[in-house]
Amino acid sequence: MTLLDLTRKDLTRSLRSAFLLGMMFLVPLGLSGLMFFAFGGLGTSESGDVATTRVLVVNQDGGVQGLNAGALIVDVLGEQLGTLIEVSLADDPAAARADVDAQRAGVALFIPEGFSEAAVGLGPTAEAEVYADPTLTIGPAVVRSVMGQMADRLAGGRIAAETVLQQLVARGVTLGGDEVQAVVEAFQAAMESGMGEDPLLTIEGAAAEDTPSDALAILGSTVAGQMIFAAFFAAAYMAESVIREDEEGTLARLFAAPVPRAAILGAKALAAGILVLGQTVVTMALTHGLLDLPWGRVETLALLDVGLIVAAAGFGVFLLSWARTSRQSGVLIGAGLTTSGMLGGLFSAAAVDLPAALRTLQLVFPQGWALRGWTQALSGAGPAEVWLPVVVMCAMGLALFAAGALRFRRRFA
């Protein structure tokens, strides 16, 4: 019986375990789905965009001296705030109110007759009215803000024109009616030009970055931690087969066969490596395809997988070398993997404010180095940037495998 035959036998037996398959795939994938939906979808979601508010404008302003303040307001709302406001003109104030009440529109803006005259000081006070859906906040606030700033600018233009005329009169300069009208129109033209070139409200999105969003980074770190935990569990489960086969008598028959004892343990380590490789590849492929989780560069992930395979296989052999019965092995797997995973940071992978002492403690365990490598990969690191975690994982894994193999050899000598 060759090494490959032993490996195939161990793999076949392990893959028949529904519990192992659940721990390898369902746990990390299930957690990924829960995290994804908890954040309402990540990556390409546009759920954070502000919804467009439909605004009905009833403009009864006829304008004065070449200025139509009502039309100017409509232009500002429609052109400068097109991503926030959808402007529609209406003639009937009662119908506009009814549309808002029925939530067919978010806001109704009523601009009364004589609004332009009042704005430039040539007529009595005229107030525009904003009638809004009480369930909305952003759309009505934007309309009110625009109205307030427009009123300030119109009043500012009127005051500026009056100030110029007063200064001219104080200096003995008398202007005719046409000249006064020219001064007023010049200020109105400058005011309207300024409104077009200096938007009342600028809508800007967050600058696109190559790094994942915060929510996506949290999801990636959490899934990476659970994937690493599942990899160590799969390797430990494979190493546990030595204990099970010893109790069933299968191991004694293997020892009696012309098979080197080193090959028996080596086959289990190889089978564990194949399980870990399959588990990580499937988990990363599914979470990338279904959840658009960016795992990073393929060559970096391949290098990290090598380190994880060696570390997980070595850790599993060493951990199970302390068990003499299957009952003890169950306790060791549960307590040993949970404790080392917790101290290695696998269950707090998304935390960013851990004390420095805990960060240092994580690196005592191979799980901590594996998490460090995958976190770097999620940030787009190249192979040259993850060589340290890979080297440490391999060194730890080989040392633990050698220690575990020595303990097994003494036990079954």
Flag whether pLDDT at 366 surpasses 90. Answer: yes
Q: What was the pLDDT predicted at 208?
A: 43
Phi, then psi, of 85 in degrees rounded to 5: -125, 135
Average pLDDT, the chain: 81
User: What mean pLDDT is predicted for residues 3-9?
Assistant: 83
Phi, then psi, of 101 in degrees rounded to 5: -60, -35
Flag whether pLDDT at 66 surpasses 70. Answer: no
Q: What was the pLDDT predicted at 50?
A: 56
Residue range 89-105, pLDDT digits in tens: 999 999 999 999 999 99
Ranges 9-13, 176-180, 250-254, 289-293: which has the least confidence: 176-180
pTM of the model: 0.58
For residue 383, give every residue at least 6 positions away whose Cβ sits within 8 Å of its Cβ, in sequence order, or none.
Answer: 297, 299, 300, 303
Alpha carbon distance 159, 188 (integer Å): 11
Ranges 114-118, 205-209, 383-387: which has the least confidence: 205-209
Residue range 239-294, pLDDT digits in tens: 888 888 888 888 777 777 777 777 787 888 899 999 999 999 999 998 888 878 88
Q: What was the pLDDT predicted at 313?
A: 93
Q: What was the pLDDT predicted at 326?
A: 87
Q: What percent of the chain clears pLDDT 70, i.e. is strictly above it?
A: 77
Residue range 296-314, pLDDT digits in tens: 999 999 999 999 999 999 9
Phi, then psi, of 53 in degrees rounded to 5: -105, 130
Alpha carbon distance 389, 394 (integer Å): 9
Flag whether pLDDT at 200 surpasses 60. Answer: no
CA distances from 209 to 206, 213, 351, 379 (A): 9, 8, 22, 12
- What domains lie within the chain, and their CATH numbers? 3-43+213-411 (no CATH), 53-197 (3.40.190)
For residue 138, give every residue at least 6 positions away whose Cβ sits within 8 Å of its Cβ, in sequence order, or none.
Answer: 50, 51, 53, 84
Q: What was the pLDDT predicted at 177?
A: 54
User: What mean pLDDT is predicted for residues 29-46?
Assistant: 61
Q: What was the pLDDT predicted at 47?
A: 42
Q: What was the pLDDT predicted at 135?
A: 86
CA angle 232, 233, 237 (to 5 degrees): 120
Q: pLDDT band at residue 210, thresholds of 50, 70 and 90? A: very low
Alpha carbon distance 94, 99 (integer Å): 9
